[in-house]
Homo-oligomer: A and B are copies of this chain.
Amino acid sequence: MRYGQFDDEQREYVIERPDTPLPWINYLGTDAYFGIVSNTAGGYSFYRDARLRRLTRYRYNNAPLDVGGRYVYVRDDVSGDYWSPSWQPTPERELDDYECRHGLSYTRIGSSRRGIRAETLYFAPLGETLEVWRVRVTNERTDNAELSLFSSVEFCLWDAQDDATNYQRNFNTGQVEVVDGVIYHKTEYRERRDHFAYFACSEPLAGFDTQREAFLGAYRGWDRPVVVESGLSKNSVAHGWQPIGSHHVRLRLAPGETREVVFVLGYAENPKDDKFDPPGSQTINKTRVKPVISRWLRPEVVDQGYADLRAYWDRLLNTLHVTTPDGDTNRMVNVWNAYQCLVTFNMSRSTSLYETGIGRGMGFRDSNQDLLGFVHMIPERARERILDIAATQKEDGGAYHQYQPLTKRGNNDIGDGFNDDPLWLILGVAAYLKETGDHTFLDERVPFDNVPGSEVPLYEHLRRSLKYTLDRLGPHGLPLIGRADWNDCLNLNCFSDTPGEPFQTTENASGGVAESVFIAGLFVLAAKELAVIAGLRGQDGEEVVYRAAAEKMAGTITEHGWDGAWFRRAYDFYGNVLGSGENDEGQIFIEPQGICVLGGVGLEDGLAVKALDSVADRLATPHGIVLQQPAFSSYRIELGEISSYPPGYKENAGIFCHTNPWIMIAETMVGNGDRAFDYYRRINPSAREGISETHRTEPYVYAQMIAGRDAPTHGEAKNSWLTGTAAWNFVAISQWILGIRPDFGGLRIDPVLPTGWPGFTATREFRGATYEITVTGSGRVDHLLVDGVRVEGALVPPAEPGAVVRVEAILG
C-alpha cells in the first residue's frame, strides 16, 4: 500500500496520512545550517556540526516515536480545543485532512480541523544560518474564529552528547534572554561560547515561555502542554533545567480570512571581544543579528527566499534530465536520487533517523564514493572534498578510515588499516577528471597526514595508493585485507571474544595471511584508471607499469580468486578460503562478483557471465540481491562482525543495497540490459512505493539495507538516506544503463537498455556545454549523430563551453 504519492511536476513527495510506517524525513539547509524534519514536524537543527553545535533537542528511539520537533499548536480560544496541524505531537486529536509535502530542502505540512486550516512551510534560506517557519492559518468556518497560535522548540545545550548525559552540570547552566519578543537561547554564552540561538516571531506576542516545565506542566508531554490547554503563556524565564522557546500569538480571523505568521529560528556568532552589550555586562550583543531577524520576519523576504531555494535546486538538477519510458527511473534520476546524493554529500553519515549526529566522522572511502553521485552537479565541491581527503592520507599510502569534519584531520580513534581505502581515492579523482577534464588538478600540492611541508602533487598520492596495495600482498598474491575491506564487517584479523568490543578498532591479531579478492578486483579497476591518467599526463612508462600490474592482479584473481562458477571472497587468517563452494555458509558473496567485473576481470574469458549467472541464481531476491549465501547461522570469531548479525540482516545476508548497482553495472558490461534494469527496479524506492507497508522507509530515497530472505522481515528497509547506495545507483542507472557516461576524452553515450524500450531522451550539461541527447533503436550503440554529423563509436567529442550540442545515438 501507499502512504502518499510523487508530485513529479513540483518535485515533491506528498504524504497523505501522517502515520507512515516509520517517520519519513527530509533535510533542511544547503550549506552550513541544517536540519532534519519528519512528515509530522519531528526533527532537529544544527549549525555545521550535528554533535557540537546542535540547536534543538531530539530524542532518538523514543516512545512514542519521533516526538521532539518544530511544533506549532493551534488553539480555539472559544471552545478550548487545541491541536497541532502536523499531527504530532497531538496524534489523539484527529485531523479532518492532512498533507505533508517534502520538497527539495523544504517541507510543507498542512491540515485542517473543525474548519481551521493551518499549513507550515519549513526551509532554511540560502546563505543564511537560520530556518523559517511560515505558518498560514485560514478560517474556513462561516463565523469568526478566535485562535491562539503557540510555537515550540526545545533547545539543545549545544553539545548533543554532553546534553544527553551530563545532567549534573546541564540542569544548572540553561540561560535565555527575551527581548522585544525574541527568545535568545544563550546557555554557556556567559563563558566560552560566542554563539547563541534565537527564535523570533513576526507578530506581537500575547506571551512566551522558555522553561519546559512551565510550558508543558509537571509530568506532561508535548501532547498536552498546560500552556496550550489553558491558552495562557506563563512568560517563564529559564534558569537551568530545560530551556525551550514558545511564542503565543492571538489571531482573530473572519470567515475565509487567512493570516500568515512567520517564525525564525537561527544561529548567530559574535566576535569574542564584542560579545556583550553594554561591554562588561552579560547581555548578548544583538547589533549584528537584529537586522537579520527583522528581515526574515517579513513575508516578502520569506517568499523570495523560498523562490531562491527552488531556483537553486532547478539549477543543480538541470545538469542531467532524462525522459525514459519508466516513470520510476525518471523521477529518481531527475530529482530524488540526485537530491539524496547531495544530502549525503552534506551529511556524510552523520544525521538521519538512524545516525544520531554524534558518532561518525567523514569516511575516506565513503566520501570518495559519495562524490561519484554529485560531482556532475557541483564539481568544485567534489574538488574541495578530494583535497581534504587526500590530505589525510599517510606517507605509505595508507588512510585513516575517517576524518573529522571540523578539523579535517584523520581520526586516530578509528585508525587505519582498512586496506581498500586508498584505492578509492583513485576512483574519486578519476571521476572528477572525467567530469571536468581539469587535469591540472593532479598537480595540486597536498600534504600527507596534514603535516605542513609534506606536500606533494595529488598525482603522487594516487601512486602511493596503488603502491600501498602492492606492498601488502599475501601468499596467493592477493591483497591483504587489514582490518576490513569495503565490507567493514568482514574482520578476518580481529578475533574478538569480548562483548561490546568494536570489531573495527580492536587490536588485530598478527601473523595471519588474510587476503581480499574484493581489494584485488578494486585494484585492477583503480590501476587501469591510473594507467589512463598516467598516459594522459604523458607518463607512458608508468602507464605500462600500471597496466601490467592490473593484468597481473587480474591473472591472480583468475588463478586464486575463481571458484568454478563465481569469484571467491577472501582467504582468512589461516589461509582458508571464504566465498567458495567449499564453505558450509558464506559460499558466495556479492562484492567480488561486482567489483571484479567492474575491473574487467572475466569479461573476455566468460567468467564474468558465469559469475553474474551465479548471482542471479543464488543471491537475487524480489527485494534485491543479498550480500551472501548461505547466511551465517552462528558467530564465527574468525570472520568478525559479519557473522554477528542475525541471518538476513545487514552484512549477514541482508540486501546491502550499496552493492546492488555494482551488479547492475557488471550486467551492462556483459550486455545484459534486461537484468541490469530488473535489478535496478527491485531496489528503486519509487518502484517499491506500492509495498510501503513492507518496505517501510521513504519511497523517495534509497535505504542502506533491505532485510534479506533469511530474515523474518524480508523486504523491510532500514537506514534510509545516508548511504553510498545513493551515489552508486545514480552511477549505475545514469552512466551504465542509460549510458550517459563522462569519460576522460568526452561524454560517452553507450546505453545498455532493457528490451522493448524504444529509446529515451536526455539533457546533460558537461564541461560547460549542453548536450541534447536522443537514443533510438535497440541493442548497443552503432554510431552517433552529433549535430547531424556521423561519429563512429560512442564518444561525443568535447564541445566548446556554452555550446548546445544535439546528439543522436543510434542503437542496433
Q: Interface on A for B, CB 8 Å cutoff?
A: 19, 21, 52, 59-67, 88, 91-92, 154, 158-159, 162, 164-169, 171-173, 175, 188, 190-195, 212, 216, 218-222, 224, 237, 239-240, 242, 282, 353-356, 358-359, 496-501, 633-635, 643-646, 649-650, 654, 704-705, 711-713, 718-719
Contacts and interface: CB of A to CB of B under 8 A. Distances in A.
A239 B712 contact: yes
A52 B91 CA distance: 35
B190 A719 contact: no
Contacts of A59: 59, 62
21 contacts: A52-B499, A59-B59, A60-B165, A63-B212, A63-B220, A64-B220, A65-B218, A158-B499, A165-B356, A165-B359, A168-B355, A171-B354, A190-B646, A191-B635, A192-B498, A192-B499, A193-B499, A239-B646, A239-B713, A240-B646, A240-B718
Given A240-B646, A634-B190, A219 B496 contact: no
Contacts of A646: 172-173, 175, 190, 239-240
Contacts of A719: 167-168, 171
Nearest to A652: B172
Contacts of A705: 172
B52 A216 contact: no
A399 to B, nearest CB: 21
A702 to B, nearest CB: 15
The CB with the most chain B CB atoms within 10 A, among A172, A239, A242, is that of: A172
A64 B193 contact: no
B158 A63 contact: no
A66 B213 CA distance: 13
Given A354-B168, A633-B282, A646-B240, A65 B219 contact: yes
B167 A64 contact: no
Given A158-B500, A162-B500, A222 B169 contact: no
Contacts of A191: 499, 635, 643-644
B355 A240 contact: no
A649 B240 contact: yes
The CB with the most chain B CB atoms within 10 A, among A21, A88, A168, A224, is that of: A168
Contacts of A166: 359
B649 A222 contact: no
Given A64-B216, A169-B650, A359-B165, A635 B499 contact: no
A222 B63 contact: yes
Given A500-B159, A718-B172, A644 B355 contact: no
B359 A171 contact: no
Contacts of A194: 499
Contacts of A190: 634-635, 644, 646
A213 to B, nearest CB: 8
B500 A167 contact: no
A158 B62 CA distance: 17
Contacts of A633: 282
A59 to B, nearest CB: 6
Decide if the interface of chain A is mainly helix, strand, loop or mixed. loop
Given A61-B164, A165-B356, 16 more contacts: A19-B219, A60-B167, A65-B218, A159-B500, A164-B164, A166-B359, A167-B719, A168-B354, A172-B654, A188-B499, A190-B644, A190-B646, A192-B644, A239-B646, A240-B649, A240-B713
A644 B188 contact: yes
A358 to B, nearest CB: 6
Nearest to A280: B634
A812 to B, nearest CB: 46
Q: Which 6 A-B pairs have the closest CB atoms?
A: A191-B635, A172-B649, A64-B221, A191-B644, A193-B499, A167-B354
A109 B536 CA distance: 79
A621 to B, nearest CB: 17
Contacts of A358: 165
A188 to B, nearest CB: 6
Nearest to A502: B162
A171 B716 CA distance: 12
Contacts of A496: 192
Contacts of A91: 219-220
A193 B162 CA distance: 28
A65 B218 CA distance: 8
Contacts of A164: 60-61, 164, 356
A282 B59 CA distance: 34
A282 B242 CA distance: 45
A61 B498 contact: no
Contacts of A193: 499
A209 to B, nearest CB: 13
Given A19-B219, A192-B635, A634-B190, A356 B167 contact: yes
A650 B171 CA distance: 10
A635 B194 CA distance: 12
A791 B300 CA distance: 93
Contacts of A355: 167-168
Contacts of A353: 167
Contacts of A168: 354-355, 704, 719
Given A61-B167, A154-B63, A646-B173, A218 B21 contact: yes
Contacts of A499: 52, 158-159, 188, 191-195
A53 to B, nearest CB: 9
A412 to B, nearest CB: 14
A129 B516 CA distance: 45
A645 B173 CA distance: 6
A719 B191 CA distance: 23
The CB with the most chain B CB atoms within 10 A, among A61, A64, A88, is that of: A61
A172 B650 contact: yes
Nearest to A219: B64
A171 B172 CA distance: 34
Nearest to A167: B354
A502 to B, nearest CB: 9
Given A188-B644, A500-B158, A718 B63 contact: no
Nearest to A349: B168
Nearest to A498: B192
B501 A192 contact: yes
Nearest to A644: B191
Nearest to A282: B634
A354 B59 CA distance: 17
A137 B697 CA distance: 43
A175 B173 CA distance: 40
A667 to B, nearest CB: 28
A630 B484 CA distance: 58
A159 B501 CA distance: 10
A644 B166 CA distance: 15
A60 B59 CA distance: 10
A172 B498 CA distance: 20
Contacts of A67: 221
Contacts of A220: 63-64, 91
A168 B66 CA distance: 16
A62 B68 CA distance: 10
A237 B188 CA distance: 46
Nearest to A65: B219
A706 to B, nearest CB: 12
